[in-house]
Amino acid sequence: MTDQIRISFPDGSSREFPRGITVAEVAAAIGPRLAKAAVAATVGEGRVDLGYRIEADAPVSMITLDSPEGVEIYRHSISHVMAQAVKRLFPEVKFAIGPAIENGFYYDFDLPVPLAPGDLPRIEAEMARIVKEALPFKRLEMKKEEALKFFREAGQKYKVELIEALPGEKVSLYQQGDFIDLCLGPHLPSTDRIKAFKLQSIAGAYWRGDSQREMLQRIYGVAFPTQAELDNYLHMLEEAAKRDHRKLGKELDLFSLMDEGPGFPFFHPKGMILRNTLEDFWREEHRKRGYQEVKTPIILNEKLWRQSGHWDHYKENMYFTRIDDEDYAVKPMNCPGGMLLYKREIHSYRDLPLRVAELGLVHRHELSGALHGLMRVRCFTQDDAHIFMLPSQIRSEIEGVIDLADHIYRVFGFEYHVELSTKPENAMGSDEIWEKATASLQEALEGKKMDYRVNEGDGAFYGPKIDFHLRDCLGRTWQCGTIQLDFLMPERFDLTYVGEDGEKHRPVMLHRTIFGSMERFIGILIEHYAGAFPTWLSPVQVKVISVGEAHLPYAREVQKLLDDHRVRVERDERNEKLGYKIREAQMARIPYMLVIGDKEVETASVAVRSRDRGDLGTMPAVDFLNKVTGEIAGKK
RNA sequence: GCCCUCGUAGCUCAAUUGGUGGAGCAGGCGAUUUGUAAUCGCCAGGUUACCCGUUCAAAUCGGGUCGGGGGCUCCA
């Protein structure tokens, strides 16, 4: 045993150091810049603090604030500082957990008094004090019994519960100043490395996410390595709030939610144009791909829902009613109705695949606290389809849906990612069937060379699924499209087709959506475009604005020309100044304004103002017509 | 559903310590006849979400109901 150890670095180099050297000293030996930027390191397999002593040969890579890992450690350390501040202000606090999250951190507290927003500045001020005190984070290791004793005596029941669930003999604790918390680490070397954070909100959160357990108080904070990054993020949030679909929906007169129908949106005339335009597009794309369209009833006999399995697996989310002394349910999904339609006639293998689409209005009882504008509602229209197919057609049908989804999302310029969800706890059917179905979905994804994440246990109760998650302006992702492979419903409903051999066989089915729900998709579009829809989607595409009374007849002619060619055009001939009418049209996010005055009347032209690019100059009315109809046809 | 928070005119917001609810925009009427983001004047508009209480007196304080917002849980 020598006193030297050999440390290797990510660039392939290696150097000898004295045994027991700290990570910080290694960083310093490499260079002062690294020493300053490092917050922790990976030694061998594990992440350790800068104060960690390296006792044996190992690969070492420094973790700096430039990396996601470094920022995570930074944010996590701030959550400890927040906990310490809360402890100073509320000595009776009990601590739950406090992880780093995207853009920041949170910590869950059990407090005898409710926190108010006014407490946040006080906690922030206390945190600033702790940062200034430059308290080192010290790692302590304890035997589990010892740690349990420590936290029991401190009355920290949540920590006791956490430790009891931890594997191994020892646990690690971190101390800064007089504050000690159970934590795996690593942490910043000292609180004065913290530069920019802001406490954001207080929220309720269940202990361990279990609605049967204690309701804790969670404080969310945002944090970045520099003040500039924090300011930038806060500014982004402000910009995002400006395009909130609830606000724009009201301003642009698209939809509303009334006290009389929480979660049941009303669509206004302009919202309906948007919606119908999307439906027209959707129908056309489906028609091209060999889909038929059906409509099934909203209320169906309860027996059907028992047969489908919804009664056992989905009752909590359903609405029920009674008709002529019989029990009925309002449909939460379209599939059982689709099953009945399949069964209305005998099918040959030659008919398959059968692609049956339905814009189906479904109702689901969502918890009142979960409702959110158009994004989370209690009734919505799914752009559903059920594909009945031979087992040999599974893969090509799935691929067809993936292509269709990609085609449709592309038109809107959406980025998306894909998730594969597997068998949930309350599932119907055997493991074998689930494995087979999941493997089929996987094969299709791999065949398409798509990256995907696996979401264990998140499938529908009747089958695994592929979900498409679109990314919105807040960086939130929304589940829109879904492809669910189902071997069970055909079984439950005894669906058959006659095979080549003249015998009855069981078809396989696919449930799928692209938009997901029309309502949610419209909400996402509003935020995505900040209300400034591309011309083809705009409820009003062109506003004809006449300067004076003398220009009215020609203005009407221009309007008629556009209207005859199916351009959605309105005319503003009010006795107002031009600037006033322009301003109003601009605020309504109308893509084009046509100013009609003396010059235009004389030359049969229009002065075109673009919502996005301002004054485009004068052009013959017919040229503008061609321009705008071209945009509409090209879905621009 | 649970925790916190909020609810004033169609919309966005005011209203000292509890002391007779105001403004801008939108709307109606009138004047103005207008060239690229707001012309002027007048008028009308509210059982302060709803119910119960405390008080001489409640938009304001307390309790409840309904609804909104931020989360948790759940999900298209």
Give the up-direction half-sphere exposure of residue A528: CA atoms within 13 A in the CB hemisphere: 21
Q: Report the nucleotide nearest the CA of residue A575, measured to C1'.
A: B33
Q: Which of A611, A600, A604, A597 is nearest to A541 (CA)?
A: A611
pLDDT at A475: 63
As a whole number, mean pLDDT of residues A495-503 equals 96
Report the pLDDT value the prediction gives residue A185, as an integer from 0 to 100: 83
CA triplet A356, A468, A509: central angle to 5 degrees? 30
A460 DSSP 8-state letter? B
Q: Which nucleotide is nearest to A200 (CA to C1')?
A: B70
Q: Quick one: average pLDDT of A180-187?
A: 92
User: Considering only CA atoms, which residue is closest to the C1' of nucleotide B67?
Assistant: A259
pLDDT, mean of residues A193-212? 91
Quote the pLDDT of residue A521.
96
ipTM: 0.93
> Which residue in this structure is represented by tokens 């799928």?
A512
Residue A240 scores a pLDDT above 90? no
Active site residues of A: 335, 364, 382, 384, 386, 465, 511
Q: What are phi and psi of A544, to 5 degrees?
A: -90, 120
**What is the pLDDT of chain A when averaged over all its residues?**
93
**Cα end-to-end distance, chain A, whole Å:** 73
Using the CA of A479, which nucleotide's C1' is the nearest one? Answer: B76
- Which nucleotides in chain B lie less than 7 Å from some protein C-beta? 1-5, 11-12, 31-39, 66-76
Q: Are A51 and A189 in contact (CB under 8 A)?
A: yes
A623 CA to B72 C1' in angstroms comes to: 56
**Strand partners for A54:** A21
The pLDDT score that the predictor gives to residue A76 is 95
Q: Tens digit of pLDDT for each residue in A277-332?
A: 999 999 999 999 999 999 999 999 999 999 999 999 899 999 999 999 999 999 99
How many CA within 13 A on the CB side of residue A73? 28
How many angstroms is C1' of B14 away from CA of A93?
Answer: 39
For residue A473, pLDDT beyond 70: no
The whole-number average pLDDT for the span A376-401 is 95
Q: Are the beta carbons of A174 and A137 closer than 8 angstroms?
A: yes
Instruction: Please report the pLDDT score of residue A472 as a whole number.
Output: 67
pLDDT at A368 over 80: yes
Is residue A195 predicted with pLDDT exceeding 80? yes
Question: Which pLDDT belongs to residue A112?
Answer: 85
As a whole number of angstroms, the distance between CA A394 and CA A390 comes to 7
Residue A386 confidence (pLDDT): 97
Q: Gap from A247 CA to B22 C1', in Å?
A: 25
Q: Return the pLDDT at A534.
A: 97
- Closest amino acid to nucleotide B34 (CA–C1'): A577
Q: Supply the pLDDT for residue A479.
A: 87
Interatomic separation, CA of residue A201 and C1' of nucleotide B74, rounded (Å) = 22
**CB-based burial label for A366 (10 Å; 0-12, 13-18, 19+):** middle
CA dihedral A455, A458, A460, A464 (to 10 degrees): 30
CB A223 within 8 A of CB A104: yes
| Residue A301 near residue A272 (C-beta atoms within 8 A) | no
The arithmetic mean of pLDDT across residues A483-507, rounded, is 95
Task: Name the residue closest to the C1' of B73 by its CA.
Answer: A211
* pLDDT at site A476: 67
What is the model's pLDDT at position A426? 78
Q: How much is the average pLDDT of A257-281?
A: 95
Q: Give the closest nucleotide to A548 (alpha carbon vs C1').
A: B33
> How far is C-alpha A258 from the chain's CA centre?
25
Helix (H, G, I), strand (E, B) or coil at A154: coil
Separation of alpha carbons A63 and A111, rounded Å: 35
- Give strand letter and number of the nucleotide nearest A217 (CA to C1'): B3
CA dist., res. A41 & res. A51, Å (int): 10
- Give the tens place of pLDDT for each residue, A40-93: 999 988 899 999 999 889 999 999 999 999 999 999 999 999 999 999 999 999
Give the DSSP letter string of A519-579: HHHHHHHHHHHTT---TTT-SS-EEEEESSGGGHHHHHHHHHHHHHTT--EEEE--SS-HH
Mean per-residue pLDDT, A455-480: 83
* Tens-digit pLDDT profile for residues A17-32: 999 999 999 999 998 8
Rounded Cα distance, A465 and A257, in Å: 31
At A1 the pLDDT is: 58
pLDDT-derived band at A474 (thresholds 50, 70, 90) equals low
CA/C1' separation A114–B63 (Å): 19
Question: Which nucleotide's C1' atom has the smallest distance to the CA of A608?
Answer: B36
Report yes or no: A111 and A206 within 8 Å, Cβ to Cβ. no
Whole-angstrom distance, CA of residue A378 vs CA of residue A392: 37
Protein-to-nucleotide distance from the CA of A614 to the C1' of B32, whole angstroms? 28
**How confident is the model at residue A431, as a pLDDT?**
87
Q: How much is the pTM?
A: 0.91
CA A510 to chain centre: 24
Q: Cα separations (Å) of A462 from A335, A489, A507?
A: 11, 7, 15
Tell me how far apart the alpha carbons of residues A443 and A449 are, in angstroms, rounded to a whole number.
9
CB A362 within 8 A of CB A331: yes
pLDDT tens-digit map of A390-404:
999 999 999 999 999
Neighbours of A184 (CB within 10 A): 13
List the A574 CA – B24 C1' distance (angstroms). 22
Torsion of CA A308, A312, A315, A316, to 10 degrees: -150
A211 has pLDDT over 90:
no
